Structure 1
Amino acid sequence: MIAHTCVQDEFLETLVKEQTAVNVFLVNGIRLSGQVSAYDCFTVMLKSGPSVQVVFKHVISTVLPANGSGPTRDPSDLPVSRAKLSHLRTQE
């Protein structure tokens, strides 16, 4: 039987193994920072100092390594909601 892994699992597994600091952007524009300590099909556990947060994957927009491996954006530049984004498009 051929083992099938998805890109998402490979990416998250690398973050866990290397204990990479990440910025997790949610669909509502909120940025969470920490290290991915575990994950499953539906959630990501994000450790930040002594606390751990369980974040549901369906609310995650983007996961970026904090080591500069990708462009970072100020979370205030992100749309607050999809409704607001649609409203902005109609004004153009």
Structure 2
Amino acid sequence: MTARPCVQDDFLQTLAKDKTTVNVNGIRLSGQLAGFDQFAVLLESGAGVQLVFKHAISTVMPANGRGPARDPADAPLSRDKPNHVQARDR
């Protein structure tokens, strides 16, 4: 059995790879994700690089208000249930 992908890791990895400027709520920070691990994120901004522990964060979202670009293969398979999440193999 293969391990299921971690939604958090996928989301953060896409933001970091695309160098998307993000707003981090809970402590009101803004910058680009330079990296992350199980417990913390590195946030790079004009003020430098900050290590922010995930337990202090309530949300992370792109500063432009739009999510990262998604692969068309990630689109729901059924138009009848657009809010239904479907598992996919990797």
Q: Which has the higher contact order (CA 8 A, sep 6+)?
A: 1
* TM-score normalized by the length of structure 1: 0.67
In the alignment, what sits opposite 1:43? 40
Share of identical aligned residues, percent?
A: 63
What letter is aligned with 2:45?
S
Q: Deviations over 1:29-78 (max 9, x none)?
A: x31000011000000000002500000000100101011217xxxxxxxx
In structure 2, the residue corresponding to 1:19 is in which secondary structure?
coil
Indicate whether 1:53 and 2:46 are aligned: no
Report the alpha carbon displacement of residue 2 of structure 1 after superposing the two structures with TM.
Answer: 1.8
In structure 2, the residue corresponding to 1:61 is in which secondary structure?
coil
Q: Distance in 2 between matches of 1:6 and 1:36?
A: 17
Gaps of 5+ in 1: 71-92
In the alignment, what sits opposite 2:15? 15
Report the alpha carbon displacement of residue 7 of structure 1 after superposing the two structures with TM.
Answer: 0.3
Q: Distance in 1 between matches of 2:44 and 2:30?
A: 8
**Equivalent runs, 1:1-92 vs 2, <5 Å:** 2-26=2-26, 30-49=27-46, 51-69=48-66
Greater strand proportion? 1
How many pairs were matched up?
Answer: 67
Q: Distance in 2 between matches of 1:57 and 1:68?
A: 20
Gaps of 5+ in 2: 68-90
Moved runs in structure 1, 4+ residues, more than 2 A? Answer: none
Greater helix proportion? 1
